[in-house]
Amino acid sequence: MSSKDRLGQVLGYAGLILAAAIMLFPLAYAASTSLMTRAEVSTFPPPLIPADPSLANYAELFRAVPVFRWLLNSLVVASAVTLGQMVTASLSGFAFATIRFRGKALAFALFMSTMMVPWEVTMIPNYLFFRSLKLTDSYTALTLPFLATAFGTFLLRQFFMQIPRDLEDAARIDGCSRLRFFWSIALPLARSGLITLGAYTFLSTWNQYLWPLLVTNSKQMRTVQIGVRFLMNEEGLQMHRVMAGVVFFMIPAGLMLLWGQRYLVRGLMAGAVKG
Amino acid sequence: MRLCKRFVVFLALFALLASALAGCGSGSQSGGSENSAVKKVEIQPGEKVKVTFWHAMGGHNGEVVQSLVDEFNKSQDKVQVTAVYQGTYDEALQKLKAAGPEGPSMIQVYEIGSRFMIDSGLITPMQGFVSTDKWDTKDVEPQILNYYTFNGKLYSMPFNTSTPLLYYNKTAFKEAGLDPEKPPKTLDEFHQYAKQLTKKQGADVRYGAGFAIYGWFFEQLMACQGASYTDNDNGRKAKATKSVIDSKEGETILQWWKDMIADGSAANLGRKTGDSQNAFMAGRVAMTLESTAVLGNFLSGIQNKFELGTAFLPRPSASGNGGVIIGGASLWITNLKPEKEQWAAWEFVKWLATPQTQAKWYTQTGYFPIVKGAYDQQIVKDVLAQRPMFKTAIDQLRGTKVNTVTQGAVIGVFPQARVKVEDAIENTILNKATPAEALKTAATEITKLIEDYNKTTK
Amino acid sequence: MASTVGSPVARSRPHRSLMEWLEPWLYLGPSLALLGTFVFYPLLRSIYLSTFLTDLLGRPKLFVGAQNFADALTTPKFLQSLGVTVLFVLYTVPLGILLGFILAMLANRPVRGNKFFQLIFSSPLCISVATGSMIFMMMYNPVSGLFNYMLSVVGMPKVNWLVDPRWALFSVGLVSIWLRLGFNFVLMISGLQNVPQELYEAARVDGANGWSQIRHITLPMLSPTIFFAAVVGVINAFQVFGEVDIMTSGGPAGSTSLIVYRIYQEAFQLFQFGTASAQALLLFLVIMVLTYLQFKLGERRVHYQ
């Protein structure tokens, strides 16, 4: 290895470590704050590391608010939306990729155009819709509007399009129906696309903010994001406890990322750009 | 990519659908009626009525609310109350408006939301329950009771009352050579003290003062000068028609505020009160303005970092004839639920107003008791003996003369008006406008809001 | 499961062609029904609402025609919000993509532990707007926060992050960039991994050094990814809400009142669903024009394989 290469290697690592440190700093600071006492949080200069680390804030958090219920709500909502999108998007993506039919171009344009409709435009009528059905503050309201997306349809269409036409023809000649072809051949082949969509959908649903803020009314129906927000209050910014919530609620999403990250890296672009 | 073509197709389609729309859908209508007499609906033995209670008490105070609710639920077997924290007062009220028919059985609303609640058609006036049940209002603090009585009718039950206080860092006072037992009494003194308390060390500054850009402080400082917020005696003689905050008194406040920021003796800490509280507890600002209700929080956040002092809100001049506004929040029973549930809510409201409950509420939060009997409770006597700082707030309240100024303004758009005032304060201290200009703009905008409101509510 | 093709059961012809006609729509059905209910119908309802003034509980009361649109376009606050939003897009989208690209270049090197760094760089994907904003809000406190303390340690003047109108949008933008960096990183690195290695080898034979490799191979090959990131980034930046709601509430002096927040205030704080709908529809128009321009301009520069 030449000295120039070695220098490059060292610089490369230095860059990686520096970038990683900057990116992780806010998280580390949050974690550290969550172990401090009330008085320590409001001290100047702000301490980076708790003098006497304690899990008391977590215990306090579990006692004061229904964290596990919020966790459950978020899990139910994110899983339902993920599953729903996988079903609807694979069906419609499959149709767009493999079936020839009249009005396909128009239907596809219609689908894609929904990507451009900003959420702000549909938010108010959707809210009024659920209110008039007396369905606010329910899992239905939290999940139903997100069960179908143009993005997912588009992503999976790209994956289905990579399936060789011959394969389908061969299956047809063997007497395999389209639905069976979809179920037992196309879907398994598009597995990584499905996982990509699943991981992405799960994470973005998990992190949703405005809609759950609008439609949840009771403590029992809040998702973790809204729960965390309500830990903040006017009569005293209890950052030590808020940070305990922040850190605790990050764990499930972190695990999801740990599992789905490589699929995200492979799949997101594979589907989205080659078009 | 053929997206351009798709785009055109989409546009065409969109236009088509839009034109085909004419007169589709219509808003649902739901109105409420206000009847003074409410027929009593008894809860049958063995029956348990559920009551939802939305409140705006977060953090420690929220936990006290929860513990009271638990205690009530355990004390009897007819009513089961579920308390839900809905964020700040503003947020809770917004949530109620948004929820409409999906709202709770009862809700805590801040004093400036009273007019809106009366006009909203969403509530059953408290007077109905009081009259039918022959509940005695004699023990309720008259100043507080008056605030929520309109046209001789009690609309809501007062629950928590607070006033603003001056909190100061006694240790910093000593360091700066100031007498920690002589806090500033006037705005000018406050400014002088702030200058003396400001300490520069290199690039670092410990500020003499710092408090949130919060419209409430402006309202209070106006009242301290005996100045009204709106015409028609703060809207108490007749419906308010315009804002009168663009007055000499208003300008005095903004000029004072601006001067302190400009000479660096006060820090601009933004609109979040939490940021100011944190800065004060960290010893970064030596004086701050805050509600009486944060005293407990301050004590636990400061511990032994420095010695805390409390004093009356500084007044624009030492001999002001006004006083602080007797405000806080009250409990409203909505008409969204069946009558039986409303009566169940009333049971809870009554229980909250007992001297015993109020004594617990007061000693654990710092909000004044609404009934005089609470002061006879032993726990109150003990706390006042141990923590004389709690007494500052009572003294300030009792020293206040009751008139239309200290009762505060009654307008249906008060929450929105408060935001306009905050805009004015911000624009002044950021040097975007002079105090007079900023207040003129705010007053014009508030007047427009009042006019619109009066137009849509008859 | 009954099969449509090669089924032994004989069918009459019209029946069969009806089936054939129907089949794709059955696949599209679930998505179409949902998108229709939650995107297209609300869109139309928005248009309806936008022609009304609503009462204090948000019920449509007074038909005003196009007045709400005219009002929005002449209200300084709405125009300010549009301006602030455009500025926000310019702050966050290019910088976010650039940072994502740099991180991807760093982590794409075949060195030990690069998988670990890839995971760290995508970590913001699991941080929600609410939590991220709260962490930064704590550090942004003008007098007791960590950032200003660090500045004072190195002798620099303090910055009134969220309180100074000149800095507030930048400060909010910083949080936004950080929160979306995970997504940008993932996009960029997967783009990089799709660049055929032979191209670099060929370039090396031709004597191309690092920078000219980036310029002549990496960037052109990555252009579809960058284009995609830009389109999605702009659409996302136009929908930023949580950061503003938690950190600034649109202040100071309206300097961070991004368009979604403005519409939210109009709708759910002032309960003017009519004017809010009109503003949202105007925003829709702006986004359509911008997306169209992006495709028009972008397509010329993007290199497709």
pLDDT 10s digits, C232-269:
888 888 889 999 998 998 879 889 999 989 999 888 88
A34, A240 Cβ separation under 8 angstroms: yes
CB contact under 8 A, B62 and A233: yes
Degrees to nearest 5, angle at CA C130 with C124 and C131: 55
Interface residue B210 vs chain C (CB under 8 A):
yes
CB contact under 8 A, C249 and B271: yes
> Which chains touch B (3+ CB pairs under 8 A)?
A, C
Interface residue A64 vs chain B (CB under 8 A):
yes
> What chain A residue is nearest to B4 in terms of C-alpha separation?
A109
Report the C-alpha gap between B263 and B451 in whole angstroms.
39
What are φ and ψ of residue A272, in 5° steps?
Answer: -80, -25
> Which chains touch C (3+ CB pairs under 8 A)?
A, B
The Cβ-side half-sphere exposure at A122, using a 13 Å CA radius, reads 20
At B333 the pLDDT is 96
Strand stretches in B64-173, DSSP E: 79-85, 106-110, 123-124, 149-150, 153-154, 157-160, 164-169
Report the C-alpha gap between A271 and B432 in whole angstroms.
50
A26-30, A127-131, B92-96, B387-391: range with lowest mean pLDDT: B387-391
% of residues, chain B, pLDDT over 90? 53
CB contact under 8 A, B61 and A137: no
Nearest to B113 by CA among B148, B62, B64, B161: B148
Report the C-alpha gap between C63 and C53 in whole angstroms.
6
> What chain B residue is nearest to A238 in terms of C-alpha separation?
B59
Facing residue for B430 by CB, picked from C56, C144, C165? C165
Task: Look up the ipTM and state it.
Answer: 0.85
Nearest to C182 by CA among A268, B425, A52, B426: A268
Facing residue for B10 by CB, picked from A109, A127, A237? A109
Cβ contacts from B onto C, under 8 A: 114
What would the pLDDT profile of B225-275 be if each residue is shown by its tens digit?
888 999 998 888 888 999 999 999 999 999 999 999 999 999 999 998 888
For chain C, give the number of residues: 305
Tell me what the mean pLDDT of segment C91-104 comes to.
95
Q: Which of A7, A9, A10, A16 to mutate to test the interface with C (most CBs of C within 10 A)?
A: A16
CB contact under 8 A, A218 and B14: no
Tell me what the mean pLDDT of segment B175-184 comes to.
94
At B255 the pLDDT is 96
Q: Which of B277, B426, B428 to mutate to test the interface with C (most CBs of C within 10 A)?
A: B426
- Write down the mean pLDDT value for chain B: 86
pLDDT band at B318 (very low <50, low <70, confident <90, very high): low
CB contact under 8 A, C42 and A124: yes
Cβ contacts from A onto C, under 8 A: 278
CB contact under 8 A, C111 and A107: no
Tell me what the mean pLDDT of segment A180-198 comes to.
88
Interface residue C57 vs chain B (CB under 8 A):
yes
For tokens 């107003």, the residue is B353
pLDDT at B203 exceeding the cut of 80: no
CB contact under 8 A, A131 and B10: no
CB contact under 8 A, C132 and A26: yes
Helices (H) and strands (E) in chain B, counts: 20, 14
pLDDT at B110 exceeding the cut of 60: yes
Nearest to B27 by CA among C303, C273, C96, A16: C273
CB contact under 8 A, A175 and C6: yes
Strand partners, B291: B164
Chain A residues closer than 8 Å to B301 by CB: 38-39, 41-42, 236
Name the token pair of B77. 């077997």
Interface residue A42 vs chain B (CB under 8 A):
yes
Nearest to B323 by CA among B395, B396, B230, B246: B396
Interface residue B284 vs chain C (CB under 8 A):
yes
CB contact under 8 A, B305 and A136: no
A92-101, B56-65, B75-84, C296-305: range with lowest mean pLDDT: C296-305
Q: Which of B64, B95, B102 to mutate to test the interface with A (most CBs of A within 10 A)?
A: B102
CB contact under 8 A, B278 and A109: no
CB contact under 8 A, A120 and C259: yes
Give Cα separations from A253 to A203, A210, A226, C102, C128 (angstroms). Answer: 7, 18, 15, 25, 9
Strand stretches in chain C, DSSP E: 52-54, 60-63
Shortest Cα distance from B282 to chain A (angstroms)? 4
Report the C-alpha gap between A211 and A117 in whole angstroms.
16
pLDDT band at C8 (very low <50, low <70, confident <90, very high): very low
What stretches of B52-113 show up as alpha helix (H) in DSSP?
Answer: 59-75, 89-99
What would the pLDDT profile of B121-164 be if each residue is shown by its tens digit?
899 999 999 999 999 999 998 878 888 888 889 999 999 888 89
C163 SS3 class: coil
- CB < 8 Å from C in window 77-116 of B: 90, 94, 97-98, 100, 116
Tell me what the mean pLDDT of segment A201-216 comes to.
90
At B35 the pLDDT is 45
**Around Cβ A194, how many Cβ atoms within 10 Å?**
22
CB contact under 8 A, B84 and A105: no
> What chain C residue is nearest to A225 in terms of C-alpha separation?
C130
pLDDT at C1 exceeding the cut of 70: no
Facing residue for A236 by CB, picked from B104, B277, B282? B277
At B391 the pLDDT is 82
CB contact under 8 A, A19 and C103: yes
What would the pLDDT profile of A53-67 be if each residue is shown by its tens digit?
999 999 988 888 889
A240-244, B32-36, B198-202: range with lowest mean pLDDT: B32-36
**Residue C14 buriedness (CB in 10 A; 0-12 / 13-18 / 19+):** exposed
Shortest Cα distance from C256 to chain B (angstroms)? 13
Q: Are strands B285-291 and B204-211 parallel, antiparallel or unpaired?
A: parallel
pLDDT band at A193 (very low <50, low <70, confident <90, very high): confident
List Cβ neighbours of B214 (8 Å cut-off, separation of 6 or more): B271, B273, B422
One-letter amino acid of A18: L
Task: Read off the pTM.
Answer: 0.85
Facing residue for C143 by CB, picked from B24, B119, B279? B279
pLDDT band at B43 (very low <50, low <70, confident <90, very high): confident
Facing residue for A44 by CB, picked from B59, B284, B291? B284
At C185 the pLDDT is 93
Facing residue for C106 by CB, picked from A16, A44, A104? A16
pLDDT band at B284 (very low <50, low <70, confident <90, very high): very high
Interface residue C251 vs chain B (CB under 8 A):
yes
H/E run at residue B339: helix B339-352
pLDDT at B19 exceeding the cut of 70: no
Shortest Cα distance from A205 to chain B (angstroms)? 22
